[in-house]
Every structure is written in C-alpha cells, then in structure tokens.
Structure 1
Amino acid sequence: MSYVLPHLHSGWHVDQAILREEERVVVIRFGRDADDQCMRQDEALLKIAEKVKNFAVIYLVDIDEVSDFNKMYELYDRNTIMFFFRNKHMMMDLGTGNNNKINWVLEDKQELIDIIETVYKGAKKGKGLTTQPNTDISWDEESSDRLP
C-alpha cells in the first residue's frame, strides 16, 4: 500500500476529487490496499506521479472502505484504474474489449504515462473515448465514426 499517494476515504471524497479538478485528468486506482496486485500498481503510480502532475492527479480508493461505486463501476477485479475529466468518466480503448477501465497491473512506467497523457489529450479535445497510444485511429464521441 502506498502511503504517499492520497487516499479517498468516502464516496463524498471521491465525488469531490472528480468534481473539483478542472484542468487535469483524475486517475483513481480502485482495489484493496493490502492486495499484492494493488501494492504493485500503487508503486508504479507513485513512480510516475511527479512526472504526470501537470496533467493528471492520482488517488487511491480501497473498495472495502468505500463501496459506494462497486456496483456502478463494476469494481469486481482486484485492481482497477479509471480516468475522469471535468466530472466525466473517460474511456480508453486498449484493445481488450473493456473500454471503461484498466483491470490488470500495469507496471511499465512509460506505458502508464503514455496512457494517461493520451486520455488527457483526448479529454481536452472533448473525446469521451480515446485509443491506445501510438495508433492512428480515434473515435468521435458524438457519432462513433472513425476519424483519421
């Protein structure tokens, strides 16, 4: 468990973190703090937190302590990362079929930075769904048409 990254200890705190941030992507790791997958993910997030601080803020939520979102966001995995921008859930197509969240441990620091930066750039352009970094295809949120 990372004691350095900020924890959100209630549903109200999660809502406020998502609501109050106007310029950066809110990255939330949902999971159980004592779980080994979450601990590994937290370490990777801690290592990139300083590098992404200009365009992202990272929070941790223990789903046993804060269960308000477990059903809404289908938080059944041991480790889940979700993205929000200006009070909107941001989706990312990483080719897994699940565009709502990352539900595996992603320890590659540069890959994490690239994903967060891609979500940020897409969010700033008004896109609700962005694609994995280094691809030429993105989706237009309004029409779901492919754009070059």
Structure 2
Amino acid sequence: MGSIVLTHLKSAWHVDQAILDDEEKIVVLRFGKTTDAAVMAMDEHLSKIADRVQNFASIYVVDNKEVPDFNAMYELYDACTVMFFFRNKHILVDCGTGNNNKINFSIADKQDLIDIIEVVYRGARKGKGLVVSPKDYATQMKY
C-alpha cells in the first residue's frame, strides 16, 4: 500500500513529539485503524501527495487502536480522521461540514488535499487557528 512512505507513529509520546518538534511545517496526522479500507485509501492519497507538500507539511499516520490515547481528547470515533497542527497548536479547518476540528470524510482528489494543506499552512503561519477550506465539502459522504 501507499502508506509505506508515510511515517507511522507508534505511541502517544511519538505523536506528541511530532506535534512539538516541527516548528516550520504543518503536522498532518491521520488517525484510524491501519487495516480499515477507508484508512488505506486515505493513506494512499496522502502518500501520493507527500512529496508535493514536503516543504511545508509533515504527514504522519497513527493507528488509534494501537495508540488510543487521543481517542477521547480528539473525539476519534470515525473510521478515518485527518487533523492539522502547527507549532503545537491544533488548526481548525472549515470544510463546510460543521465539524471544524477534523476531516472525517474521504478526499480522493490529490489537488484538493494539497489545496487544503496549503491553506492550513498559510493560515497557521499568519496566526490563524481556523482556516476556511478552498472547497465546500458539505455534500461529501462520510467514510
């Protein structure tokens, strides 16, 4: 699968370090059970864009069955969840779905993923804690 190129964080400590250590890039965390079909699809999409966003984003994957420490804190109840952090701050993204905390729906279009990550990066660098997605995903189906 495509997730081979993505770094798997194996403990809560590793997740915390990823969020804390990167001062210049957006930290993209994908939470979900690694063997779930929706998660494998998202990992494939993320791995395909990783090289295109590497200058401003670091992408990590976390199996939240293996590392359950964040499930309650971030309300990780969906099969697959993508969240963004910058300088140890959770960056919210308004995708038109009503849930600004995380992306919990499929985004298969590589350019859409890149655009969201770029908007998060630009907004976070300006000190914004909430950015608006370049596209409205209100009609997107959940995983």
The residue matched to 2:121 in structure 1 has which SS?
A: helix
The residue matched to 1:113 in structure 2 has which SS?
A: helix
Moved >4 Å (runs of 4+):
none
- TM normalised by structure 1 equals 0.89
Note if contact 1:8-1:60 (Cα within 8 Å) is conserved in structure 2: yes
Residue in structure 2 matched with residue 8 of structure 1 by the alignment = 9
Alignment partner of 1:76 is 2:80: no
Residue in structure 1 matched with residue 140 of structure 2 by the alignment = none
Residue in structure 2 matched with residue 28 of structure 1 by the alignment = 29
Unmatched tracts of structure 1, length 5 or more: 136-148
Residue in structure 2 matched with residue 66 of structure 1 by the alignment = 67
Number of residue pairs the alignment of both structures matches: 135
Alignment partner of 1:44 is 2:29: no
Residue in structure 2 matched with residue 140 of structure 1 by the alignment = none
Alignment partner of 1:130 is 2:103: no
Which whole-Å CA distance do the structure 1 matches of 2:72 and 2:25 have between them?
26
- TM normalised by structure 2 equals 0.92
Post-superposition Cα deviations, 1:18-69, rounded to whole Å, max 9, x if no partner, equal 0000000000000000000000000000000000000000000001100000
- Tell me the CA shift for residue 134 of structure 1: 6.3
Residue in structure 1 matched with residue 90 of structure 2 by the alignment = 89
Percent sequence identity over aligned pairs = 64
Note if contact 2:95-2:135 (Cα within 8 Å) is conserved in structure 1: no
Unmatched tracts of structure 2, length 5 or more: 137-143
Note if contact 1:38-1:105 (Cα within 8 Å) is conserved in structure 2: no
Aligned amino acid, residue 54 of structure 2 = K
Bigger Rg over Cα: 1
